[in-house]
Amino acid sequence: MNKELTREERTDALGGMGCKRKRVEDARFTQGKGNYVDDIKLPGMLQGDFVRSPYAHARIKSIDSSAAMALDGVIAVLTAEDLAPLGLHWMPTLAGDKQMVLADGKVLFQGQEVAFVVAKDRYIAADAVELVEVDYEELPVLTDPFAAMESDVVLREDLLGEGGSLPDGAHGPRKHPNHIFTWEVGEKDATEQVLDEADVVAEETVYYHRTHPCPLETCGCVASMDKVNGKLTLHGTFQAPHAIRTVVSLISGIEEHNIRVISPDIGGGFGNKVGAYPGYVCSVVASIVTGVPVKWVEDRMENLMTTAFARDYHMTGKISATKEGKITGLHCHVTADHGGFDACADPTKFPAGFMNICTGSYDIPTAYLAVDGVYTNKAPGGVSYRCSFRVTEAAYFIERMVEVLAIELNMDAAELRRINFIKKEQFPYQSALGWEYDSGDYHTAWDKALKAVDYDGLRAEQAQRVEDFKAGKTRKLMGVGLTHFTEIVGAGPVKNCDILGLGMFDSCEIRIHPTGSAIARLGTISQGQGHATTFAQILATEIGLPADSITIEEGDTDTAPYGLGTYGSRSTPVAGAATAMAGRKIRAKAQMIAAYLLEVHDDDVEFDVDRFVVKGAPEKFKTMKEIAFAAYNQAIPGIEPGLEAVSYYDPPNMTYPFGAYVCVMDIDVDTGVTDIRRFYALDDCGTRINPMIIEGQVHGGLTEALAVALGQEIAYDDMGNVKTGTLMDFFLPTAWEVPNYETDHTVTPSPHHPIGAKGVGESPHVGGVPCFSNAVNDAFRAFGLRHTNMPHDHWRIWKTANDLGLHG
């Protein structure tokens, strides 16, 4: 029957790349049959819970757990003293620092883990937590990184050398006991010279506030030590299960083959679930000690207060240009607040991540970036919240600086961007700060975006609005937010990207079954991105079997090939490439089998959608299904039976997705309330695997961007108390606050990626944050505002209007 189908019909039947395939994950999720970590219930399982510090900086004088231990159902109360003999009271961080698992003599941030209670159920554990008495002696609190760099209060005595000396940290010399590192990229002297000699220089201080990824599911795990077989199974919310296995092995001494890490369904990650947290270590220890499974799942307050904040970058910029607006130089200094421990999740050689993508989409000949990391009495983290490492910070910085420069030059911000974009023919483009941008066509994207929104019409309307406002006819201003961002994702080439020495390649292993269906396993793990759907589409196109006949499996270190997991939009660029490459290995063997079956030379057959055909005689063919069967039932001279392949893909370069966004916003000057009238997002993520999923990622990323730009914040008071530790104060937008988005695209494939895909999950967040913020700032441009910091909540906007004298 197959013979009668046209080539197009055969292609459609595969459900391969480019089609809007419905998600295979959805059946279980819509029926409440997902399997998330807190759904796991093992026989005899105990529950762990933390005693946490109410103070941001304090010495611990004593811990008395006798009352807690006396409670019926309490099995153990672990403190640093119990972990010390095992060497587990501290653990290494992903950033080359170390972090206390349980408070070792002092605490450095509010909510820090002090003791771990293990009890028969969560209620008893919670009661016991209340009964543990900790005697604290308060110490002076440092919540401001600038003050920390001046203070003689030492936060990390453990890092002092003999006689109070200051040994180098993981990233070189330290200037002060509360200083972590200085990281410099680019040419300092040359940049300063360019700035000195420039026609125009715009300067601004831009603070990217502290926030949190806050996935709907918090972090947690179930550790289960099988003492009979010496095997540890660790289920948990891990964005990088293999890396977690290696880390657990390194710190526990259990051999890696005796550890099985499983990431079940994950309820969103956004960077929150990359790191290793004290809860994991304590659960493992507790299970080893008790011999039964131990579950630990943090609650929302614990999540917001302790696991993985994002950003907290104080950025000072100078950008220079000619009178005509050609940018000549960029200077950026960052004071990065890392909290009490340096637990940033960045590739080892990049202590400030890829902040050096801060030249953005522009051809800036000379640039310099310096980042100083600083300890304060805040929670550790510094993860990439829905972005590749520090890329939102970089995009926000440059997109604000360009707007400020436009004000300085008295130019239209869209035009200023246009004359400075890297031109299509300049790719691959070497940036002043060391990256090789793979491909782009920024002018085309920009023009398409401006046309779609009728940019000139918007500006005319805005000018009229300003007139009306001045004439007292309206109290609403209008902002037009622009952004053209360039991301850097798909970390990354092993030559410069590793985490704790583990190269950031990724992997795929495929087994074709005799009847022509398949299973593929990957080193990544989906947290909502729909990998089971999209990776099957890549394979369907590569190997000519229907996507519906291909199972994708991830997240079990006993079965999946080694990979560094899912974050930083690396799944498609790295594991997606591995998938395509493994598929091509399958195809290469299939070609030999087909040639044998068709009795022609290998070179005389060619792949055609779902089959190999004899060149010039398309009526002679063998389908992939037939070939798969032959692989298992025919003795073919010179060819091993079976049809399997594995690929470990070390990407030659990062990928550089980009996009052009426009936000139109009305702002009520008297209430500070914002109304997003329109949001247009054009994304170029190279080859598009599943347009439906891409669009969903864009909607979600933009909404997280809206949250961050317009209100979401982890705020501290001077005592180091977290002021936004519940969903009452930590802004997560609901359906009511979120607009409908218009999505659009151009396609500029990555030249070095096997299928040309670049990754998209984080673009809308990276581009969305500056776009919303630019809209707010732009609304007040006519009244003399240059820059105001996020988050632009109603109160801050009202304050901006008030400071500008707009309340009469």
Partner 1 sequence: MSNKKHFKLTVNGEEQEFLAEPRELLIHTLRERLRQTGPHIGCETSHCGACTVTMNGKSVKACTVFVAQADGADITTIEGLGNPDSLHVLQEAFKEHHGLQCGFCTPGMITRASKLLEENPTPTEEEVRFGMAGNICRCTGYQNIVKSILAAASEMNAAKEAAE
Which are the catalytic amino acids?
239, 386-387, 762
Within residues 273-312, the interface with partner 1 by CB under 8 A covers 299-300
Cα torsion 696, 699, 704, 710 to 10°: value is -170
Q: From the list partner 1, ligand FES, none, pick the one residue 463 interacts with, judged by a Cβ distance below 5 to 8 Å according to partner type.
A: none
Within residues 244-273, the interface with partner 1 by CB under 8 A covers 265-268, 270
| 663 near partner 1 (CB under 8 A) | no
Q: Which span (208-216, 227-235, 355-363, 466-474) binds partner 1, by CB under 8 A?
A: 208-216
Interface residue with partner 1 among 2, 7, 9, 28 (CB under 8 A) is 28
Interface residue with partner 1 among 39, 157, 199, 675 (CB under 8 A) is 39
**142, 135 Cβ separation under 8 angstroms:** no
The CA distance from 679 to 662, in Å, is: 6
Closest CB to partner 1 among 71 and 153? 71
Token digits of residue 327: 């940018």
**598, 622 Cβ separation under 8 angstroms:** yes
| 762 near partner 1 (CB under 8 A) | no
| 732 near ligand FES (CB under 6 A) | no
What is the smallest separation between the CB atom of 528 and ligand FES, expressed in angstroms? Answer: 5
| 216 near ligand FES (CB under 6 A) | yes
Closest CB to partner 1 among 112 and 527? 527
The CA distance from 452 to 446, in Å, is: 10
| 48 near ligand FES (CB under 6 A) | no
What is the smallest separation between the CB atom of 119 and partner 1, expressed in angstroms? Answer: 11
Interface residue with ligand FES among 145, 220, 236, 268 (CB under 6 A) is 268
| 124 near partner 1 (CB under 8 A) | yes
Closest CB to partner 1 among 26 and 467? 26
Picking from 90, 7, 1, the residue whose alpha carbon sits closest to that of residue 618 is: 7
Picking from 427, 431, 417, 423, the residue whose alpha carbon sits closest to that of residue 354 is: 431
Q: From the list ligand FES, partner 1, none, pick the one residue 430 interacts with, judged by a Cβ distance below 5 to 8 Å according to partner type.
A: none
Task: Tell me the per-residue interface mask from 502 to 541 with partner 1, x by CB under 8 A, - otherwise.
Answer: -------------------------xxxx-----------
**320, 242 Cβ separation under 8 angstroms:** no
| 130 near partner 1 (CB under 8 A) | no
| 528 near ligand FES (CB under 6 A) | yes
Closest CB to ligand FES among 30 and 205? 30
The CA distance from 54 to 558, in Å, is: 40
Q: Cα–Cα distances in Å, from 400 out to 312, 446, 478, 533, 773?
A: 16, 17, 18, 37, 8
What is the smallest separation between the CB atom of 696 and partner 1, expressed in angstroms? Answer: 5
Closest CB to partner 1 among 267 and 347? 267
**717, 794 Cβ separation under 8 angstroms:** no
| 460 near ligand FES (CB under 6 A) | no
Strands 90-92 and 658-668: unpaired
What is the smallest separation between the CB atom of 32 and partner 1, expressed in angstroms? Answer: 2
The CA distance from 94 to 490, in Å, is: 18
| 693 near partner 1 (CB under 8 A) | yes
Q: Cα–Cα distances in Å, from 451 out to 249, 296, 663, 774?
A: 56, 52, 14, 19
The CA distance from 591 to 711, in Å, is: 57
The CA distance from 553 to 262, in Å, is: 11
Within residues 93-122, the interface with partner 1 by CB under 8 A covers 122
Cis peptide, bond prior to residue 791, ω within 30 of zero: yes
Q: From the list ligand FES, partner 1, none, pick the one residue 123 interacts with, judged by a Cβ distance below 5 to 8 Å according to partner type.
A: partner 1
Task: Give me the DSSP letters along 75-106.
Answer: EEEE-HHHHGGGT-SEEE-TTS-EEESS-SSE
Closest CB to ligand FES among 107 and 693? 693
DSSP 641: S
- Could you tell me which residues come within 8 angstroms of residue 305 by beta carbon, excluding any fewer than 6 positions away? 52, 110, 111, 379, 722, 725
What is the smallest separation between the CB atom of 300 and ligand FES, expressed in angstroms? Answer: 8
Query: Under the phi-then-psi rule, with left for phi > 0, alpha for psi from -120 to 50, and beta for the rest, what region is 230?
Result: left
Footprint of partner 1 on this chain (CB under 8 A)?
Answer: 22-23, 25-34, 36, 38-39, 41, 71-72, 122-124, 127, 214-218, 265-268, 270, 299-300, 527-530, 692-693, 695-704, 726-728, 732, 734-736, 738, 740-741
Footprint of ligand FES on this chain (CB under 6 A)?
Answer: 216, 268, 528
